[in-house]
Amino acid sequence: MAEASAQPAAIKSDEGRPVVLIIDDSQDVHRLLRARLKQEEVELIDATSGAEGIKLATQHMPAAILLDIDMPGMDGFEVLRTLKDDPATLHLPVIILSGQQSAQDKVTAFELGSVDYITKPFEFTELRVRLRSVLRTHRLMQLLSQRAQLDGLTGLWNRLFFDTRWADEVSRNQRHARPLSVALLDVDHFKSVNDTYGHPAGDAVLQGVAKVLQRECRQSDVACRYGGEEFVIVMPDTNAADGARVCDRIRVALEEITWPRHPERKITASFGIAGATGASALSASAWVEAADRNLYSAKKGGRNRVVSSDVSAQPNLRAAG
């Protein structure tokens, strides 16, 4: 068990320029495209073979791919088919750049999943306009996807996002034995806030808790609304003791708030943390269950407190029955 505090760190977001991957075996085409697209707000990366292009697409997840068809070895159609067969790169928009004007080539390209087909020699104004259109659509799709993973009331990530991110972090912990912690927090006596002051006051509390989490969590932490008055924090590279210090800082900051709708009433929260210094054998769900048991202990122990435990090298509780 552990309880403590630490210094806050601000959360920052710095979104760079969209990456555009050029896959073409001609160095002249690469030089030409770089010269003609240098005024565009994009970052260009180059591949001179299909295999290299697939590797870079997987590494960088570009916002758009400019793909030549006629290449030695793996041609553009094979590259396109490989990208669209992989769930990780399926969504990447591909613009075909080809010297072939065959109607059948165009049909094949669109059937395989390309979003556009431009024949060489191309008119660069047309290329820029089409590329901008693809990038704009890609950005809108990203925004829609992100919005689907945001909680509408608090603006934090939602349960859908947490489930996916947490599974990835647990997998990383098991592969690389990196420290990892998860914290569940529950607003104390939240029902009485709704009953006494009304649901708008309850909503204001949830929004206030979210603001505290955004301010007090470190840049690497991921705060989500878990459901109702429960929140969850994913803390990569953080053991249980350090996770407890982070959560205790959040607990104190929340307790110090004066609420406009009920200045006489303080709002507190209870925290349950399960963390590992190295690899843990627990499944993602069993790990959260361990944090939930600690949250129950914090509630039972008087609320407004942090309870944590180390789950390193513990057996999978579900497998154990």
**The pLDDT value given to residue 314:** 52
* pLDDT given for residue 190 in this prediction: 96
**Rounded to the nearest 5°, which phi and psi values hold at 92?**
-70, 125
Give the pLDDT of residue 204: 96
Question: Would you state the pLDDT for residue 147?
Answer: 80
**Strand partners for 9:** none
Domains 19-147 and 159-320 belong to one CATH topology? no
Average pLDDT estimate for 148-168: 93
Better pLDDT: 309 or 320:
309
How large is the average pLDDT for residues 122-135?
A: 90
Q: What's the full length of the chain, in residues?
A: 321
Q: What is the pLDDT of residue 10?
A: 28
Residues facing 46 on adjacent strands? 22
Question: Among residues of the chain, what percentage have pLDDT more than 70?
Answer: 93
Q: What is the mean pLDDT of residues 34-56?
A: 93
Task: Give the pLDDT of residue 246.
Answer: 97
Mean confidence (pLDDT) of the chain: 90
The residue among 137 and 15 whose pLDDT is bigger is 137
Q: Averaged over 280-308, what is the pLDDT?
A: 97
Query: What does the pLDDT read at residue 78?
Result: 95
Average pLDDT over residues 100-118: 91
Say if residue 15's pLDDT is above 90. Answer: no
Q: What is the pLDDT of residue 3?
A: 37
* pLDDT score, position 158: 95
Q: What CA–CA distance (Å, rounded) separates 27 from 106? A: 24
Cα dist. 98→50, 95, 222, 259, 306 in Å?
Answer: 14, 10, 44, 63, 61
Report the range of poorest mean pLDDT among 17-21, 99-103, 247-251.
99-103
Q: Is the pLDDT of residue 33 over 50?
A: yes
**Per CATH, is 159-320 categorized as 3.30.70.270?**
yes
> 19-147: what CATH class?
alpha beta
pLDDT above 50 (res 9): no
What is the reported pLDDT for 100? 79
Confidence of residue 313 (pLDDT cuts 50, 70, 90): low
What per-residue confidence (pLDDT) applies to 60? 93
Q: Where are the domains of the chain?
A: 19-147, 159-320
Q: Which tens digit of pLDDT belongs to each residue from 223-248?
A: 999 999 999 999 999 999 999 999 99
- Mean pLDDT in residue range 145-170: 91
CA gap 219, 221 in Å, rounded:
6
Kindly state the average pLDDT of the residues 153-161: 94
The arithmetic mean of pLDDT across residues 161-181, rounded, is 94
Label residue 167 by pLDDT band (50, 70, 90): very high
